[in-house]
Structure 1
Amino acid sequence: MARKKKKVGTYPSGMILFSLTLALFLIGFCGLLAIQSKRLVTYIRENYEMRAFLDKDLDSTKVAALFRTLSERPYVLKNNGSAQVTLVTKEVAAKEFIAETKEDFSKFLGENPLRDSYRIKLNEEYFDEAKLQGVKTDLEQIDGVFEVVYQENLVDSINRNITRIYLIMSAFALVLLVIIVVLMNNTIRLALHSQRMLIRSMQLVGATNGFITRPFLGRGIWQGFLAGVIAVVLLLITLQLAIRNLPELGAFQDYEKMAMLLAGLVGLGVVIGFLSTFQAVHRYLGLTLDELY
C-alpha cells in the first residue's frame, strides 16, 4: 500500500482544538460572571433605600407637596420617568413592625408612636458613603422632613466586597490568558514537530517563508475560530441551564454586553490561533538541519 503523502499545513489538531476551546470557555465563564455580578450590583444599589421620616400632623396637601419636592431631587432614581419615592404611612409601618417582631406595641403604649415616611431609592452613582451623607444632609433641610436614616456600614461593606471580587476575577482571567498562550504555543509546536522535515524540504527547493507559513496560519485561524464558536455554544447552553434552574437570573441579563463578550471570545480564539501558529512555524523555519534532528 502506498504511503499517504503529507500535505503542508496538516497536523494532528484534536488536542489543540480541545485545549483552546476549554481555555476560551473558562475565560468566557469569567466574563459571564463579571457581567452578571455587575447587573446584580446595579440591582442592589438601585433597590437600596433611604427613609425620610416626616414631621407629625402634616396634612395631605403638605405630604403631596413634599413628594413633588423629593421627586425633583437629582439623586432620586427614576424608572420610565417615575420617581422611586414611596409613601409609607405610620399605620402601614406599624403593621410591618408587628409582622416582623410579632409584638403589638399599641397594646401597652395605647397609641402609634411611628411617623409617616418616604422610602427613597437613589441613582447608582450615589452609592458611596460620602455622597450618601450629602444626600442625607440635603433631605433633612427640606421643610417637613424630621429625620433621614439609612444603613451606613452596609454601603462601605458592599463597595469593598465588590472591588475585591472584581480584582480577584480580573487577576484570574489574566493568569488564565497567560496560561492559554503558553499552552497553545507548546501544543502547536509539538503538533508541528511532525512537519519539520517537510518545512525543511520546501525551504531547500526555494519556497519562501511566506509561502510555507500561509497554510499553517490558515489552519491556525480556522482552529481558533472553531474553538471560539464551540466555546460560545457551550457558554450559551450553560447560561440557559442556569436560568432554567434559577429563573431569577433572567432579570440580570445584559444582552448587549453578552453579545460583545461572545464576539470577543471568537475574536480572541482567532488571534491566539494566528499568533501561536505564527510563532511556532517561524521557530522551525529558523532551525538548522542539526537542530531539526
Structure 2
Amino acid sequence: MSFNKKLGSYPGILITISLTVALFLIGFCGWIAISSKELIKYVKQNIEIQVYLERDLGKDELAAISKKIESFGFAEVKNGKPQITLTSKEQAAEIFYKDTKEDFKDVLGDNPFRDAFSVRLKEENITEDKLVLIKTEIEKIQGVFEVEYAKDFLKGIISNVNKVYKVLALIVVIFFVATLLLINNTIKLALYSQRFIIRTMQLVGATDFFIQKPFLIKGFVQGLIASIISIILIFLTKYVSTSQIDGLNLIQNNTNIVLLFVILLILGPTIGVLSTFQSIVRYHKMDLDKLY
C-alpha cells in the first residue's frame, strides 16, 4: 500500500515559517539572556575593593597584610597568583596629578594619600552580605585603616540581575507557550484538509502508525528546517551586532551559545512531531458525520 508523500494541499511552508519565527524569538531572547549574564560576570570580575593602610608601614608589614588578605580566600586567583595589587601613596599622587593636573603639594604641603591594596574579588563573593563580611574581616587586620568599595554601584548591579533574568525568563516562557498554541492550531488546520484521506486509509485497513508516519516525518522535517533557519538567523544577528557594537564580543560565551543552538535544534523537530501527533490522533476517532 502506497501513500502520497505530498499529502495533498498540506500547507507545509506556512507551518515551517510559523515555527521558524517562534524559534527565532525564543533563541533571540536566549541569546540576550546569555549576553546579559556574561555582562554581569564581566563587570563583577573587574570589581575591586580598596584596602587603605595606616601611614608609615614598612615592607615587612605590607607583606604581612597582603598574606593575611590572601589567606581569607576572597581574592580572585589568576595564573596561580591572587589578584592583590599594592598602590603606594606616591603612585596614587602621580595618578591624581595625571587625572586632574593639580599639584596638591602647593596647597597641603604633604602627600595626603595612603598606601592601598586593590583586591579583585572572586565572582561568588560579589554579594551584599559577603562584601560586608569581607570589609569587616579585613578591617580587623592590624595596619589596615579602612576598606572601601563602590557600594551603591554594586548594590544596583546585584539588585537588577535577578530582575533582568526574571523578565527574560518570562518572555521566553510566553514565546514558548505562544509557539505551542500557534503551531498546534496551524497543524490542526493543515490536517483538516487531509481528514478525508485519513478516513479513506482507515477504511481500506491501514494501521494507525501507517497513517501517521508520513505526517510525523513531515512534522519532523519541518521542525528541523525551522530550527536550522532560526539558528542561522540568530547567528547572523549575533555576527552583525558584535561587529557593529564595540565591546559586545567581550561578553559572548560561545559554549552557552552553542548549547542554545543545540536546544533549538532539538526543540523544533520535537514541537513539529508532538503537535502533528496530537492533531492527527483526533481524526482517527472522529465520527464520519463530524468530518463534514
TM-score, length basis structure 1: 0.93
Q: 2:236 corresponds to which residue?
A: 237
Query: Deviations 1:107-147 (Å, cap 9, x if unpaired)?
Result: 21111111010111111111111111110111112222111
1:79 equivalenced with 2:78 (yes/no): yes
Query: Deviations 1:232-276 (Å, cap 9, x if unpaired)?
Result: 111111111111112422222222211111000010101100111
User: Shift of residue 6 of structure 1?
Assistant: 5.4
1:283 equivalenced with 2:285 (yes/no): no
- CA distance, structure 2, for counterparts of residue 120 and residue 274 of structure 1: 54
Q: 2:222 corresponds to which residue?
A: 223
Q: 1:55 corresponds to which residue?
A: 54
AA paired with 1:81? G
- Name the count of aligned residue pairs: 289
- CA distance, structure 2, for counterparts of residue 291 and residue 88 of structure 1: 83
C-alpha contact 1:8 1:198 (8 A) present in aligned 2: no
TM-score, length basis structure 2: 0.93
C-alpha contact 1:52 1:148 (8 A) present in aligned 2: yes
Q: In structure 1, the residue corresponding to 2:247 is in which secondary structure?
A: helix
State percent identity of aligned pairs.
Answer: 42
AA paired with 2:222? Q
Q: 1:149 corresponds to which residue?
A: 148
Q: CA RMSD in A?
A: 1.7
1:173 equivalenced with 2:166 (yes/no): no
Moved over 6 A (4+): none
Structure 1 unaligned regions, length at least 5: none
User: Shift of residue 26 of structure 1?
Assistant: 0.8
Structure 2 unaligned regions, length at least 5: none
Query: Deviations 1:123-182 (Å, cap 9, x if unpaired)?
Result: 111111111111011111222211111122332221111111100000110011000000
- CA distance, structure 1, for counterparts of residue 72 and residue 11 of structure 2: 65
C-alpha contact 1:77 1:122 (8 A) present in aligned 2: yes
Q: 2:162 corresponds to which residue?
A: 163
For the structure 1 residues 225 and 7, does the alpha-carbon distance in structure 2 shift closer, same or farther, using more than 3 Å as the test?
A: closer
C-alpha contact 2:5 2:214 (8 A) present in aligned 1: no
Q: In structure 1, the residue corresponding to 2:193 is in which secondary structure?
A: helix
Q: In structure 1, the residue corresponding to 2:163 is in which secondary structure?
A: helix
Q: 1:132 corresponds to which residue?
A: 131
Range with greater deviation from structure 2 (282-291 or 65-74)? 65-74
- CA distance, structure 2, for counterparts of residue 248 and residue 82 of structure 1: 27
